[in-house]
Structure 1
């Protein structure tokens, strides 16, 4: 007997899921051990041309009736957002359906409750497509590295922002010009706020932190978030002068004493020798550091209909196999309870560019401010411009709160005309 799938949403990703289910029907049946067929598709409006080649009778606007139908075995959710996705998924789980979802926002906000419901009902919730598109990342973190101790996960998980910063670096383009090109190519939405302000990456970072550190404590609201809208041509040039590139990073890191985790999203300077520094265009990549496995790199297409649908189908095969075998994979039963520490406790480094008066004693006064806040200077470069000069400094590692206090104190100096740039600097490891 065929296993029936209910699809919630038939947009770019949903249409690709349908196409793959049709084109690979025989292969999927062989891999799973039974045929899979579409039992129904929930959409907002009927009558719209969708090019799926499916019987129009399969389409419905009553999503709740579809996910609770007795003959449905699996539910694939690709509508996104919090509601009605949350209510539909929970209803499907309550009615014994396993779920495949690509909904990063929902999982970042309410993943613990969804996994609790799935564990109680004895069904699966898989979500590989929620982070980094087609890249097989979440299951390796959850399963392959379950016997190891992950220390840090650092990655480029938003292709739009990576494309923009890559164009600024390689083409010398400005932020606005690069964003417009991303929109023209379909990488960025008409309203790019979720991407350029870091909301998309923050949701993904929360999911990565929960899996990497086996803690249920992390939600998107716990992630320190900074967008890329403030990155300037001067930042790009300063990074290049230091042998670095600017990348949009999501960083999940175990504290040095192992008692908490830090989760943050922001642009940062990376040395050119770092594997993430070479990731260009709209690609995604995630760099994992584990105690025994060492350094691992996951790279590939992070967005788009076909890559995302590929990840959805991979989850569908796994979930269908489990259902056929009468098993499920419970997630979240064990919680390390590791809390999220505030950004101020995170140890990092700063790159600062200061426009100052070009007169004796200015550098000494700037150095005093660093010392007063217990931050040491790693290197400094000065360029004169008539009566003005620019000081470019890179700190040694220090708590972010101390670095932030240093910047605030520097802004108050009468010899500092402006703090032209502030950006964190990441390294291949935690040492300077």
Structure 2
């Protein structure tokens, strides 16, 4: 029989991840051929400055993306990031029937519907395992393995930089600024860490997770987002005192009220029990906890970033797409039939840990408790610490709407007996 025609691949971008993709394609060429059923051939690499990429063959480099996309390549692998011009390029590839593998979480969180529609029209595949949690096989289980189950909740640590910072604060007692400086020095944080520490990166990933888990289109704009810059050493110490730790969590869950279902998607710091599986995730590692009706509880854990881990996920997608090309199959399409609406954060049930600096005199607790009762927020636990002229009061609530809890905190801050609302943090991972 004649040898099968090679699967020709165009690579857009050759930074940390792209370089690793090239290395893996070269080093594992014989194995990839055996797994795919045809040779996988790198046809070209689009970069901005070819002279800065001496680690790859010069004859593969080009600055003309359009010409590369218009050539006879079968698959386009994108590891550039950002929205434009990448969105335009990938739509061009999909409309031409070329399958796409991308690690671009920001693009998917905003324009996945448009990309899927283009793939459907042309019969091409769109794969994106590397967009969330690096090498951890997470999206394919949500998209395929659990397709016959009903997922109720996805909660995880999906940003290694913030987890490294919070883990350091927990281990050493350092403040946020000091821990961020250490993360930057060791290369875990970028020179401009805004996307990570302000929660933008995690919010994009949460939108993708929610879309897959709940068969509904969720964009990053619909994700409630808070970063970790306001987390203090005192917050970490308070969590320790209650047998908890602080993590930046991406939380996606089905919420049913009055017989109607909606999707709550949020990213924020939260206290979780040290007995929770996510509490043991340290350093720059990622982990995602999934709950489903039939399968029960599962946790996916591993390296969530880095050139080699991310390239591993890209190659896994590339093998799947190439096999489909050889065998005449197609990968899974978008599943958005449920079309569940995104629930506003104010209507989402949450729990709070509230630390107050109050006057040390009789009647303080009763005044504070009266405000909670006025807003129909139930108190789960109270701890009071007396000092010379003032006192510390820590309150943990039962679940109530976030709007009710915020209104409660605002009114408490205005009480004459309350000197300061020291900190407010949500509590997750416990029975309410």
Task: State the Cα deviation string for residues 399-428 of structure 1 (Å, max 9, x = none).
Answer: 111111101111111111110000000124
Q: How does 1:379-398 map to 2 (within 5 A)?
A: 379-398=381-400
Normalised to the residue count of structure 2, the TM-score between the two structures is 0.97
Q: 1:347, 1:357 → 2: CA distance?
A: 30
Classify the secondary structure of the residue corresponding to 1:247: strand
Give the superposition deviation at 1:173.
Answer: 1.7
Residue in structure 2 matched with residue 92 of structure 1 by the alignment: 93
Residue in structure 1 matched with residue 30 of structure 2 by the alignment: 26
Moved more, 351-360 or 331-340: 331-340
Q: How does 1:10-159 map to 2 (within 5 A)?
A: 10-52=14-56, 54=57, 56-69=58-71, 71-159=72-160
Task: State the Cα deviation string for residues 311-360 of structure 1 (Å, max 9, x = none).
Answer: 00000000000111112124225421100010011111000000111111
Q: How does 1:218-367 map to 2 (within 5 A)?
A: 218-257=218-257, 259-367=261-369
Contact 1:77 1:101 in 2 (8 A): yes
Normalised to the residue count of structure 1, the TM-score between the two structures is 0.97
- What residue ranges of structure 1 are gaps of 5+ in the alignment? none
Moved more, 249-258 or 387-396: 249-258
Residue in structure 2 matched with residue 3 of structure 1 by the alignment: 7
Give the superposition deviation at 1:49.
Answer: 3.5
Q: 2:335, 2:141 → 1: CA distance?
A: 18
Contact 2:142 2:212 in 1 (8 A): yes
Contact 1:130 1:204 in 2 (8 A): yes
Residue in structure 1 matched with residue 210 of structure 2 by the alignment: 209
- What residue ranges of structure 2 are gaps of 5+ in the alignment? none
Give the superposition deviation at 1:46.
Answer: 2.0
Contact 1:246 1:268 in 2 (8 A): yes
Moved more, 255-264 or 124-133: 255-264
Contact 1:118 1:330 in 2 (8 A): no
CA RMSD of aligned residues (A): 1.0
Contact 1:195 1:201 in 2 (8 A): yes
Classify the secondary structure of the residue corresponding to 1:21: helix
Contact 2:355 2:393 in 1 (8 A): yes
Q: How does 1:154-165 map to 2 (within 5 A)?
A: 154-165=155-166
Q: 1:369, 1:64 → 2: CA distance?
A: 63
Q: 2:335, 2:233 → 1: CA distance?
A: 47
Runs of 4 or more off by more than 2 Å in structure 1? none
Q: 1:32, 1:200 → 2: CA distance?
A: 33
Residue in structure 1 matched with residue 172 of structure 2 by the alignment: 171
Q: How many correspondences in the alignment?
A: 426
Give the superposition deviation at 1:18.
Answer: 0.1
Moved more, 257-266 or 343-352: 257-266
Contact 1:283 1:302 in 2 (8 A): yes
Contact 1:108 1:204 in 2 (8 A): yes
Q: 2:275, 2:417 → 1: CA distance?
A: 36
Contact 2:212 2:335 in 1 (8 A): no
